[in-house]
Chains A and B, each alone.
Chain A
Amino acid sequence: MLDQLFIGFATALEPNNLLFIFLGVLIGQIVGALPGLGPSAGMALLLPLTFGLEPVTAVMMLAGIMYGAQYGGTLTSVLIAVPGEASGVMTAVDGNAMARKGRAGAALSISAIGSFIAGIGSVMAVALLAPPLASFGLKFNAPEYFLLALLGILAIGSLGGSPLKSLGAALIGLMIALIGVDPLTGTPRLSFDQPTLMKGIDFIPVVIGVFGIAEVLASLERIESVQPIRTRLRDMWLTKADWMKCRFSIVRGGAIGLFVGIMPGAGASIASLLAYLTERKFSSTPEDFGKGAIDGVAAAEAANNAASHGAAIPMLSLGIPGSASTAILLAALILHGIRPGPQLMMQESVLVWGLIASMFVGNLFLLILNLPLAPVFAALLRIPYVYLAPAILGVSLVGAYAATLDITTVWMSLFFGVLGYLMIKFDVPRPPLVLALVLASLMEMSLRQALLLSFGSPMIFVERPISLILLTAVIAALLLPVFAAVRRRRDALRAGVGTGR
């Protein structure tokens, strides 16, 4: 195995390959930073350019775009609170809150470091354990995915603020997700015979509207009083205290990300949400979550990069893509005349190990690229908001159009901008809406698949061991707040009795 890894490194370190890995991560960094243009769109655009390259070089470059985008996506999330992808929603909340406190540089730095450590850790897992992890990933199927998504939805209610408002926002998200076409039968539903609605409502215009545009609308009211964010160079850098607080968050986030990443059906968005929520349980300052918790940012960013590397495990050892990006990597292999599947690691070992080695190299490039630039990007926020607001609006609208090449998406993002504005006004948290929208399709599809698998019997959730564990977690998530409330009341009563009042 080690020999193969050495051969892989020998391939990845050829000057020509180094150049293309660098190009890949650079392009990834850029497309990731543009909202609407995610890694898969960027990879699809560049796919034809790889025809002239050796297959291994092509795959190294395309993979670079895939994980480079995870680093780049942090940029818009932190600076203007517009996540480029579903996996950046938590960063858009806490990372941007940090930016408002003048700590954008720290948020960007910890994201880069967290992504790097988690990325390297995941690549080691790919190198050492891909086949067993892949077969473990296959143990997760419809029943497990349903419970995982349900766990996510329930946890959204506890994201902070009023639980009732959070669940209300999540409910709106779930309802939006129902519009379009029934995923199992293909028949239109809630579309009122409108072709636009029949396509369903994509995540991109919603997130661009609810986050980016709504934020601009809300700040227009107080544009006179909005001061550019004052940042001192000292605050740009990561402090020792930050690092001490985050080092285990990165490990935990990375582990969760890898775990979710190896499942063919669950992606980086669930990974970052679960990592964020887990971190809040471990954090010494859980009250900061939602208001700029650096450990929350570290965990979420570590998780989404780990998941994006973890998806390489089912891809390389089974030929099954775990995400839109890995699907394009597989397509690139096919276009270069290589048939992906369970035998890929044996038959194309130079390619596979070259790819794995290139991920080490690429992550290092990204760290070197991002760390020194974090304060530079953070300094963008010193631009007065009057100038910044139109730019944010422009980037948002172009992003909405670029995602689908359809002007209706732009109108839709404006509509959701107004909805997001109203949510800000009525103090309704916005992340639950977006996260529920993302989780809804997985939840619906997997519930119905599970019941088809079991011929309609709900016992399938109890009979499968992993499913049973997740079910227990779901029940605990539902009951614990009730127990806690009961105990609080009892304690309050006792305290009342104790003081004799």
Chain B
Amino acid sequence: MFRRTFTLGSAALCASLYAGLAAAQDMRAPTGPIEFTVGSGAGGSPDVIMRTFAQILSEQGLVENPIVVQNRSGAGHSNAYNHVLGLSGDENTLLTLASPVFTTPIVQGTPSVIDQITPIALLAESELIVLTTPDSAFNSLQDVVAAATEAPGRVRVAGGSSGGNDHILTGLLETATGTTITYIPHESGSAGRATFLGGNVELHFATLSEALELVQSGSGKPLAIFSAERRPEEVFANVATAQEQGVDVVYTQFWGVGGPANLDPAVAAWWAEKFKAATETAQFQTWLGENLYRANPLTLADAGAYFAEGQQTFRDVLTQIGLAK
């Protein structure tokens, strides 16, 4: 399977560029039921996001075709993306793009997925916050940097999974500050959170909606947010950005969607239009607000460029922390 998809790589790249040009072109709806392939298990963030979109697309009457969210979980999303990579030109399957789709090929030394698939849309972004335990002596990101400088490796992060967003962010933090931090991977983000709540480590990275609960209940103390600006919400208004604290790291987690290689540009353009329309609904905006996510509605070639840039960041950091093969 790998050999076959590899030779398709260059053709797919052309196809994806072509899809960008086709944006102004005619659009064509696929016929029959649609599968949203998700590489996480049910309940993971990519799964929740795709189910939300499936719900909005159907309920708002944007897409008439029945949509099934199919979890092909396991093996760092490779069960899911290999399934979609094997369906060149298929019009009834879309792949959910979450960080493992980018990082697993880099870590396993297999051909990039992003270079092969047809980019359709960027769906949502999430800012990340770093928390420490409530009784910790750390009161700012600077305290963390000072501790990690004094005793390299002594500051520990309870993380989601190896090569995951929080691992990448840990790597960026290490590079920006010249420190060494111990990242401890878990089976899932919530398993990492259990380790953090049990007081076993110093740090934990969380999305805003996860952090909100921890901060409000007093089980986590926020130290910094890794976005360009502070969040307006009352809970987070006092949380300084990493940049404000002299650490030049801006990092956003994101989720997107793509089609198989060689997807008809007219179908890709149709999907791009539908996803864009979905992000403009009040239903989506409410959901976005509830989850404290951000919208950044890029489609087709623009989304492709965004994904390519994301892939480069992943590759740089994974190479630096020694995980890239």
Interface residues of A in 163-208 (CB under 8 A from B): 180-181, 183-188, 195, 198-200, 202
- A186 and B324 alpha carbons, distance in the complex (Å): 10
CA distance A311 to B248 in the complex (A): 41
Residue of B42, B195, B214 with highest tally of chain A CB at under 10 A: B42
The size of the chain A interface, using a CB distance under 8 A, is 52
Q: Does A324 contact B (CB under 8 A)?
A: yes
Selecting from A71-79, A81-89, A93-101, A337-345, the interface stretch reads A337-345
**B residues less than 8 Å from A195 (CB atoms):** 1-2, 78, 82
Residues of B within 8 A of A445 (CB): 186-187
Interface assignment of A264: CB less than 8 Å from any CB of chain B: yes
- Evaluate whether A449 and B48 lie within 8 angstroms (CB atoms) in the complex, with A40-B42, A199-B78 already known: no
Stretch from B18-26, B69-77, B265-273 at the A interface: B69-77
B43 within 8 A of A: yes
Q: Are A343 and B217 in contact (CB under 8 A)?
A: yes
Is the beta-carbon distance between A48 and B194 smaller than 8 angstroms?
no
Q: How far is the CA of A142 from the CA of B161 in the complex (A)?
A: 15
Nearest CB to that of A51 among chain B residues? Answer: B55
**A40 cross-chain contacts in B, Cβ below 8 A:** 41-42
**The residue from A43, A405, A449 contacting B72, defined by CB atoms under 8 A apart:** A405
- B7 on the interface (CB 8 Å rule)? no
Is there an interface contact between B42 and A43, defined as CB atoms closer than 8 Å? yes
Which chain B residues border A314 with CB–CB below 8 Å? 194
Residue B234, interface by CB 8 Å? no
- Say if the beta carbon of B297 comes within 8 Å of chain A: no
Contact of B290 among A183, A187, A337, A340 (CB under 8 A): A337
Determine whether B79 belongs to the interface, using a CB cutoff of 8 Å to chain A.
yes
Q: Which residue in B103, B156, B197, B212 is a CB contact (below 8 Å) of A318?
A: B197
Cα-based distance from A449 to B188 in the complex (angstroms) = 13
Interface residues of B (CB under 8 A from A): 1-2, 41-44, 47-48, 51-52, 54-55, 59, 69-72, 74-76, 78-79, 82, 103-104, 107-108, 153-154, 156, 161-163, 182, 184-188, 190-191, 193-195, 197-201, 209-210, 212-214, 216-217, 219, 286-287, 290-291, 323, 325
A contact set with B: CB distance below 8 Å: 40, 43-44, 47-48, 51, 138-142, 180-181, 183-188, 195, 198-200, 202, 264-265, 314, 318-321, 324, 327-328, 330-331, 334-335, 337, 339-343, 404-406, 445, 449, 452-453, 455
18 of the cross-chain contacts (CB-CB < 8 Å) are A47-B51, A138-B198, A186-B76, A198-B75, A199-B78, A200-B74, A264-B191, A319-B190, A320-B193, A334-B48, A337-B286, A342-B213, A342-B217, A343-B216, A405-B72, A449-B186, A452-B182, A452-B184
